[in-house]
Every structure is written in C-alpha cells, then in structure tokens.
A and B are shown apart, each in its own frame.
Chain A
Amino acid sequence: MSTMSQAAPSPSPSPSRPRNVKLRRFAARQGWTVGVLGILIALLIVEANVAPNFTSFDVQSLVIAGMPLAFAAMAQAVVVISRGVDLSVGSVMALTNVIAARLMEHHSMGTALGISLLVLVIGMVIGTLTGVAVVTTGVPDIIVTLALGFVWAGVALVVLPTPGGGSPPSYQTLSSGSSLWQWTPNGLLVLAAAYALVWVPLRSRRLGLAIYAVGSDRDAAYLSGVRVPRTRILAYTVGGLFAALGGLALTSTTSIGSPLSGNFYTLTSVAAVVIGGVSLAGGKGGLVGPMLAAFILSAAVTVLTFLGADANYGQVIQGALIVAMVMLGGLLLRRREA
C-alpha cells in the first residue's frame, strides 16, 4: 500500500541497504496512514489561514467535534479488520451515552469515573452478545448488527425517553479541557491513551494477530489453529469497548445523554474506516488511519464554513469527500497494480 508514496520520505542520503528496506517496508505498511495524516495536516493549515484568528481553541473544538466519531471509527475498524461490519455502533454509542448520563447526574467526578468503567464493561458485554449472535446464527454480520441496532436503540429509549441526564463539570473537561498544554486538548490524550492501552498491547499479541488472520482468510486461519468463531466474537467485544468509549465521549462533549445521538455515527464510521485505509474485505489496515479520517471528516466541514460555504452544505461536503477520497485511493491502488 505504498500508494501515497509522495508522503513517504525519500530514501536517506546514505543508501545503506537495510535502512532502505526498512523504509520501504514502512512506506508499504503505513503509506496510507501517512497520506491520511498529510491530508489532515493540510486541512489544519488551511483552517489556520482562513480562520479569523486561529488559536488553540480551534484545535480544541476540532477535537470535541471529532472525538465521538474517532471512537466510532476505531470500533468499526476492529470489526471490519476481522471481516465483519457493525451497523449497531451508533445504537451502542447512544445506549452507553444515556446509561452514563443517567447514572452520573448529580454525582462527583470519582463516582463518574467508576460509572465510566461500568459502562465500558456494558459495552464489552453488548459487543460479545453481538459477536455470539453473528457466529451462532450464521446470518451475515450486516443483518445481525442491523437488527441488533434496532434493539439497542430501543433499549436506549427505555433508559432515557428524552434527552436528559447529566455529568459532573470536571467530566466534561476530559474532552474539552487542556490540562497538559493548551495545544494538546484532553480529548486527544484520552484517544491516544485508549489506543495505547487497548489496541497497542492487543495488536501484536495472539488475539490481535488472530483478528487479522481471520479477516484475511478464514480457512487459512482455521487451518493454522486459530479459533475462528472465538476470534470473531472477541473482535466484536473490542469493538463494543470502543463504541462504549464513543458513548462516554458523547456524554463528555455534550454533557447530557440523548437516545437518538448515535444515528449519525453508524454509517459515518464505516466511511471513516474505509478512508482510513481499512479494507472492507478484512485483514488490512489499522486503527490510526480511521481515527485520523474521523477528524478529516469533521474538520473539512469546519474549514469550508470558514471559507464561507453554507453550513447546510456540510453533509454534501462530507458525502462528496467520502466518495472522492475512496475513488482517488482506488485509482492509485490500481495504477500500482497495473
């Protein structure tokens, strides 16, 4: 996938062979992610130039706007890498959002953090249930998760029929504040921490490798001793964990719970995953690309509003961006194959 080779650094001046190979391998593996990062940086530079006065506040609002989608994209990415697709991500986010907002209202920060842990466990349980349903029924992932999406959305309405609930103010600073340095909003740190604590240890261990193996070729994975059904279920479990993080991000960024808050995230997360370099055919890509793509999707709208476009064009821009980026990526890939 060294398609976006312009983004990869040119071979170093001392052409020692091993380094060259290493570099090429890096380009092949991470080229797409680097390209996506390049686009995001370009967008930020444009925003810095067109915004009336670009301050750390703009970076902060970008993170606040993109954080829930970034978690949704990570949730979707894990499942898609195992060659599934999860059309219940948005509903799970809404459900965890309302559970958190309902329990946290009028409580202290300490309790809120405890509740967050509980919500993460709930997310994992939901994910596991989804995985079990997919594996035991033999019904395609897309239908199972579509149906379960209705179920979780219904449960969210039971928990909280109308938007409400609340969260302690210091819980909101988890996404909106910037305690460390004004240019590193807390939301970004939380995202990085989630990635480092959940995916990094998993990726290179047995389970992570199994997820990639199951995604790229189920029969081959089975023959090499990977427990395929178990791995598929666990991929959904990890996805459920990230979806719950997304729900908590919604609670933190909006400070309340809303049973309909998740609708937007289900399909947009699929788009973010594909833009982020994860193949819908499974087995390829990582979590950083989708995360960056989520920020591109939310930043593009901000930039274009700064440029004077009608705010109502937001959806048009996102849709066109999704198609254009995937089309471009496809053309680049094909040229390389040819």
Chain B
Amino acid sequence: MSVSAPSPASTREQEPRELARARRALVDHPLLMLGLILVLLVAACTIVKSSYLSGDQAGAILRYAAPLAIMAAGQTLVMLTAGIDLSMGATATAAAYVMAGQSSHGTVSAILYGLAVGLAVGLVNGIGVGIFRVQPLIMTLGIAGVVTGLLTVRAASNRTAGQNVPHFVRQVGGEPLVGFIPNSLILWIVLSVVVIVGLRRSGYGRMLYAYGDNPMAMRLAGVRSWQLLTVTYTLCGLLAAVAGIVLAGLINAADLGLADSFLLPSVAAVVLGGTSLFGGVGTYSGTIMGALILTVLDSFLTLLNADDSIRQILYGLIILALAALYARVQRSA
C-alpha cells in the first residue's frame, strides 16, 4: 500500500540538492548504504573500546564472518527462487560431525565425507521442493528435524568414537595466512567470486533470477524448473557443509549444536543484504555485507559486556531497526 508517501515532490524540493543527491546514491547503490551501516557500527565499537580498530580484531571478525557468509551464500541462492532453507544449521553441524568422526581415515576423505553429507541433504531437499513441490519452509524444516535426530542417535550410539578435527581443517578455519588475514578468507573469496560471477554470467544464474521473478513464465518458456530447484538446493546443502567444516576448524570441535546458532543469522544476513524473500531480486555482494554487519554487531554486543539476555534483546532490536531503515530507504526510491 503506497499510502505512506506524503507528497514526495514537495519535500524533495525543499531538501538541499547535495542531500537529495546523497539520498539518491544510497537508494541506487544499496551496497553503499550497507557499507555506511557497517562503518557506523565499527565507529560505535571504537567508541566503546578505543583499541577496537586493530589487525587482530579484523582477523577475528573475518574468521567468524567467513562461515556465516558461506552459509548465507547458499541461503541467497535459495531465496532468489523465493525459497528458504531452514536445514542449513543442521546440515552444517552434521557435515562437521561426520567429518570429525572420519578423521582417522585421513584428512581428504574426512572432508569428502562431510561434503557428501551436505550434498545428500541438499539433494533430498531439492527433490522434495523441486519434484514433489513441498513448500521449501516445510520441506527443509522437516529435513532439519530428521538430520538433527539422526545425528543425536548416532552420537548416543558411539560415544567413544574418536571425534577429531583434522589439522588441515583447523588451519583453514582458524589460523592466519599472513598477518591477520585468516586462511578461511581465501576460501571465502574464491567461493564469493564463483557465486557472484556465476549469478551474473552463467545461464544457471540468469535462470535463477528469472525463476524467482516469475516461475510460471519460466515453465511456459519450457524450462524444467524441477531441475533448477533440485540443483539449487543441492548447492545450498553443499555450501552448508563447507560452512560447517570451516566452523569446526575455527572452534576446533564438532559438537551437536555447532552451527544451530548460525541458521537464523544466515537468513537475516541475506535479507539485510537486500535479497527479497519473494525471489528474483538480490545479490551475493549484499549478503556479504549483511554477514559482516551481523558479525560486527555481535562483537559490539560482546564489547558491551552485557548479560546474554540484554545481548539478545539488543541484537533483535538492532536487526529490526536496520531492516526497517533499509525498507524505508528502498521505498522512498
């Protein structure tokens, strides 16, 4: 309902020209707006703690942002088709857990096992959504329950089995390459380039946007949308597995609640990054900014040294405020 547009022409003209131009720039380039929010958050952190701006801190932010952003990459793909994947947390945890359990077979096969878990879960989701046309929310929610349950059963039955995060995975997840730049940043950059270029240049990417924009038109144009959806959810599962493995390397443990707390932030990162929940609109670069903002926000709340309760309240309110601000700027366009 475009009721809340109080005669835009009159207010616009009264604004100084520079301000109007700045506003226009923000609306036209959402990334600029997100960057501004990020800078403001970092500034807030610096006010609380003057030594915040340091290489160590940047390294910590990047280390924690990497798994979130990799997970959010999968979420972005799925959301471009107007879907959602609520099984990513469970999938990431399962992949990391299986990887750690297979570490005695060598690093390579351990990682492959972990990725296979992600592939399998993603494929099941894709078949459910693509072929049986179950609503994505329900399909992935149900599968999340199945995966978590199976993992619990497995953990209960072989508690003695060696759970061990391979050295290589720890290096990737937690250790720096040079200075404060973590290894996981390299992986993240590589994946980002693949996703961004893939979305822009490949036929798959263009089909993804087209499907999200108008699924019926795609079907009428002869595109086998079930294939598109199956591939997309499979990729999403795979990215969840990568995120889970990186996270296990960062924490140096793979317990049963490893990635649960990353699920909802992965959705929030995508939406903050400007991807529409209704599909067809959005970019991965926006999602990256969303993930960075959420991670810096998290570190800000840690700096405040508040109780968990206050942290949660602030986290929720700030996400809501950012989303509202973003929606307002977008609407004024």
Q: Mark A124-149, 1 if CB is under 8 A from B, else 0.
A: 00000000010001111011101111
Give the contact stretch, choosing among A30-38, A283-291, A312-320.
A312-320
Q: Mark B322-333, 1 if CB is under 8 A from A, else 0.
A: 011011100100
Q: Mark B114-134, 1 if CB is under 8 A from A, else 0.
A: 000000000000001000111
Q: Is the CB of B128 within 8 A of A323?
A: yes
Residues 302-338 of A at the B interface (beta carbon under 8 Å): 310, 312-323, 326-327, 330-331, 334
Given A150-B312, A228-B1, are A137 and B152 also a contact pair (CB < 8 Å)? no
Given A138-B327, A315-B146, are A150 and B271 also a contact pair (CB < 8 Å)? no
Task: Provide the main secondary structure of the chain B interface.
Answer: helix
Residues in A whose Cβ lies below 8 Å from that of B320: 133, 137, 139, 143-144, 147-148, 151
Q: Does A158 contact B (CB under 8 A)?
A: yes
Q: Does A169 contact B (CB under 8 A)?
A: no
Q: Which residue in B137, B144, B268, B319 is a CB contact (below 8 Å) of A319? A: B144
Shortest distance between the CB of B85 and any CB in chain A (Å):
13
Task: Provide the main secondary structure of the chain A interface.
Answer: helix
Shortest distance between the CB of A39 and any CB in chain B (Å):
16
Q: Is the CB of B323 within 8 A of A144?
A: yes
Residues in B whose Cβ lies below 8 Å from that of A153: 312
Complex-state Cα separation, A335 to B158, whole angstroms: 45
Q: Which residue in A156, A157, A229, A323 is a CB contact (below 8 Å) of B142? A: A323
Residues in B whose Cβ lies below 8 Å from that of A40: none
Residues 263-313 of A at the B interface (beta carbon under 8 Å): 267, 270-271, 274, 280, 310, 312-313
Residues 136-165 of B at the A interface (beta carbon under 8 Å): 137-139, 141-150, 152-153, 156
Q: Which residue in B138, B271, B324, B331 is a CB contact (below 8 Å) of A326? A: B138
A-B CB contacts (within 8 Å), total count = 149
Please classify how large the interface on chain A is, using the bins under 10, 10 to 19, 20 to 34, 35 or more. 35 or more
Q: Is the CB of B319 within 8 A of A147?
A: yes
Q: Is the CB of B137 within 8 A of A280?
A: yes
Given A147-B320, A155-B309, A274-B135, are A314 and B141 also a contact pair (CB < 8 Å)? no
Q: Is the CB of A323 within 8 A of B152?
A: no
Shortest distance between the CB of A280 and any CB in chain B (Å):
6
Q: Does A222 contact B (CB under 8 A)?
A: yes
Given A280-B137, A313-B149, are A139 and B324 also a contact pair (CB < 8 Å)? yes
Q: Which residue in A149, A222, A326 is a CB contact (below 8 Å) of B135? A: A326
Q: Does A164 contact B (CB under 8 A)?
A: no
Given A143-B271, A315-B149, are A323 and B1 also a contact pair (CB < 8 Å)? no
Complex-state Cα separation, A331 to B310, whole angstroms: 46
Residues in B whose Cβ lies below 8 Å from that of A147: 268, 316-317, 319-320, 323
Residues in B whose Cβ lies below 8 Å from that of A317: 149
Q: Is the CB of B152 within 8 A of A271?
A: no
Q: Is the CB of A316 within 8 A of B312?
A: no
Q: Which of A133, A140, A313, A316 has the most CB of B within 10 A?
A: A316
Q: Does B62 contact A (CB under 8 A)?
A: no
Residues in A whose Cβ lies below 8 Å from that of B13: none
Complex-state Cα separation, A225 to B134, whole angstroms: 34
Shortest distance between the CB of A157 and any CB in chain B (Å):
3
Complex-state Cα separation, A315 to B142, whole angstroms: 9
Q: Which residue in A271, A316, A334 is a CB contact (below 8 Å) of B138? A: A271
Q: Does B178 contact A (CB under 8 A)?
A: no
Q: Does B277 contact A (CB under 8 A)?
A: yes
Q: List 25 A-B contacts (CB under 8 A).
A: A138-B328, A139-B320, A143-B267, A143-B268, A143-B277, A144-B323, A147-B323, A148-B316, A154-B311, A154-B313, A154-B314, A154-B315, A157-B312, A158-B307, A161-B309, A267-B86, A274-B138, A313-B153, A315-B148, A316-B146, A318-B142, A322-B138, A322-B141, A323-B138, A330-B133
- Top 10 A-B pairs, shortest CB-CB distance: A319-B145, A150-B316, A315-B149, A154-B312, A316-B149, A157-B309, A154-B313, A323-B142, A322-B142, A151-B316
